[in-house]
Structure 1
C-alpha cells in the first residue's frame, strides 16, 4: 500500500515557518492562523517521527533533521509551482508582474512601454510602483528593477545600466546669459535638491566648489520631481544617468558642465533563479537591457 504524501498546505506551512523562524509570521504570509500553522507542523513531525523545530523563548530554530527535510521540500514545491505556472500560461495570457520604484516608473519605464506592449501583445503586463524591495517568497511579483549595489545572492541579478551623477538644466535657463564654465559657477543658479541637500554638497566638494552653495534651494521628496523642476527652468538639478536619459535625448534638459561623479548605486534587474529562464521574463529583461544600451549609445555615456 502506497503511503499518502503530506498535504501541500502542510509543506507550505513548514517552508514558510522555516524561512520566517516564526509560526506567527508564517501564518501572516500564508493568510492562516498561528494555530493552523502549528497544527500542520506537529502533524508533519508526528508523521516523520522527528522534531523539525526547536521551540525556544527567542523563537524557532530548525533542527538538523528540519534543515535536511527543508531542502527536499523547497525543491519539490519550487518544481510544482514552476510546472503549474507553465501549464496555466497555456490557458490564459502570459501575466507578468513587475515591481519598480516610482522614480524609475515615471522617468524611465512608462514613457517607453508602448513599444514593448505593441511588440508583445500576448503579455499581460502589470506594474507595481513601490520604494520597498519586494519579497519574492511571499508575493506574486515575477521581476523587479532595484536600485542598489546588486548584492542579492539569493536572486538572479543583471545590471541594467551604469550611472553617473551630473548637473542638468533646461535650455531656457541656460540661455539667460549667466556664464557657466566651472562647478563654482553653479552658485549663480538656484539648486534643486533630491530629498536633502547632502547630495549637492558632496558633489560640489568633489570638484572643489564652495559646498555652502548647497544650503539653498527647494528640496523634493523624489528625484523625478527635482528633474521635472529642472525641465521647467526652476533651477539646476543633480541627475542620475538613467532618470535623466529621456529628457536629455529629447532636448528638454542639457548637461551644462562635463563634470560627473560615478553613482554610488545602479539599477539591477532581479528575479528568483528558478524563474529566470521563463520566456516572458527573458523577453522583458532583454527589452530592458536593449533600451538601456540604446540610451548609452545616444548619449555617449556608460
Structure 2
C-alpha cells in the first residue's frame, strides 16, 4: 500500500504556537517574534485547522494549553531547539561575536543607547544586540546572555550583580504643584496620579518609606512603560513616580520638577543577571565588565 502523503505544518505556524505557549499572551508572543498580534493569531488558527484540534483554551484572560497542546509542545520544543543548534553549528564564522542583552524598554532608550556608540567604537569585533521588553525574559529559552532587571533581586535560576539603587520621587510639570507644599497627602488626593503597570507598587512603597498613607489609585492613569508616564507628566496631566536614570535629563532641562524633594531609595535596585550554572562566554564577560563600569560612572555622577 502506498504511504499517504503527509504535509508538515508551516514553520512560522509552529514558531507562533511555541511562542504563544511559552508567553501565555498573543501580544508577548508577537513581541518575541517581531510580528503583529494578528499574525500570531492567524498562524495558530492555521495550525489548529491543519491538526484538526484545539491547542489552546481561550476562555480565560491568558492562553492555556489544552491537553493536546501540552503534548504537542513537549515534542515540538526540543525539535526546534535542535534545529537552532544545528543551524548555529554550520554558520560560517565572520569574526564577530554576538552578545544579547535584555533590559526594560525605557532603560534601553534613556540609559543604554546613549552609551552604545562608544562601546561599539571600542569593540568592533563584538555585536551587542539589545532585547528591550517589559517582560521578564527566560534567558536560556530565549538565548539571551545578560539581563538588566529591576526589583529586589528575588529571581530564580539567575546569578545577579548589583548595578545601582533605584532612587525615586514624584515628578510633575512646573507649576502643577504649588511650591513649598507641606500636606503631601492632600496634594496626591487632589491630582491625578500616573501608574506604570509593570511597577504597580511604586506609589505604595514610596509612601511607606516616607511615613505617608498610600494614595488612592482607583482613578489613576495606568500606562505600560516609564517613558510614557514621564511624557504625560511633562504635559501637565498628572504626577508620575520619577526615578534615576530616567529623570536626570528632564530635571536638568526643567521640563519636570520634584515637588516633594530629592529622590530617595525605594528599596528596589537594578541588577545584572545571567543564568545560574552557565558560565559567561569571553565576549559576554567583556560586556558585563563594561556595563558595571557604566553603572559605576552613573552612580558617581549622581553623588
**TM (normalized to structure 1)?**
0.59
Tell me how far 1:23 sits from its aligned partner: 8.0
**What SS is found at the alignment partner of 1:126?**
strand
Alignment of 1:96-175 (within 5 A): 96-152=99-155, 154-170=157-173, 172-173=174-175
Going from structure 1 to structure 2, the CA distance change for 1:237 and 1:94 (only over 3 Å counts) comes to same
Alignment partner, residue 193 of structure 2: 191
Which 10-residue stretch deviates more, 269-278 or 288-297? 269-278
How far apart, CA to CA, are the structure 1 residues paired with 2:281 and 2:259?
43
Displacement of 1:124: 1.2
Instruction: Give the match for residue 18 of structure 2.
Output: none
Q: Is residue 270 from structure 1 mapped to residue 273 from structure 2 by the alignment?
A: yes
> Residues of 1 paired with 2:269 and 2:78: CA distance?
33
- Structure number with higher helix proportion: 1
1:218 equivalent to 2:184? Answer no
- 1:31 matched to 2:83? The reply is no
Distance 2:218 2:252 in 1: 30
Alignment gaps of 5+ in structure 1: 1-21, 37-80
Kindly tell me: are residues 210 and 160 of structure 1, through their superposed partners in 2, closer, same or farther at Cα, counting changes over 3 Å? closer
Do 1:98 and 1:125's aligned partners in 2 also have CA atoms closer than 8 Å? yes
State the 1:237 CA deviation.
1.0
Q: CA deviation at 1:224?
A: 2.3
Query: Hey, what does 2:300 align to over in structure 1?
Result: 297
When the two structures are aligned, how many residues end up with a matched partner?
Answer: 228
Q: What is the CA deviation profile of residues 168-193 of structure 1, one whole-angstrom value per residue up to 9, with x for unaligned ones? A: 234x336x755434523634544322
Deviation at 1:259, TM superposition (A): 6.4
Q: Distance in 1 between matches of 2:285 and 2:254?
A: 32
**CA contact 2:145–2:280 (8 Å) conserved in 1:** no
1:234 aligns to 2:234 (yes or no): no
Q: Is 1:254 matched with 2:257?
A: yes
Instruction: Give the aligned partner of residue 45 of structure 1.
Output: none
Match of 2:98? 95
Q: 1:202 to 1:280 in 2, by over 3 A?
A: closer
Q: Is the 8 A contact 2:179 2:259 kept in 1?
A: no
Structure 1 position 226, deviation (Å): 0.9
CA–CA separation in structure 2 for the residues paired with 1:213 and 1:136: 36
CA distance in 2, matches of 1:232, 1:240: 18
SS of the residue 2:175 aligns to? helix
Q: Provide Cα deviations, 1:107-146, integer angstroms capped at 9, x if missing partner.
A: 3323332232233222212112233333333332121112
* Cα separation, 2, equivalents of 1:235 and 1:254: 12
Instruction: Quickly say closer, same or farther: Cα 1:234–1:291, change in 2 above 3 A.
Output: farther
Residue 157 of structure 1, CA deviation: 1.7
Deviates more, 1:120-129 or 1:248-257: 248-257
Aligned residues: CA RMSD: 3.8
Alignment partner of 2:77: what SS? helix
Higher mean Cα deviation, 230-239 or 145-154?
145-154
Contact in 2 for aligned 1:197/1:219 (Cα 8 Å): no
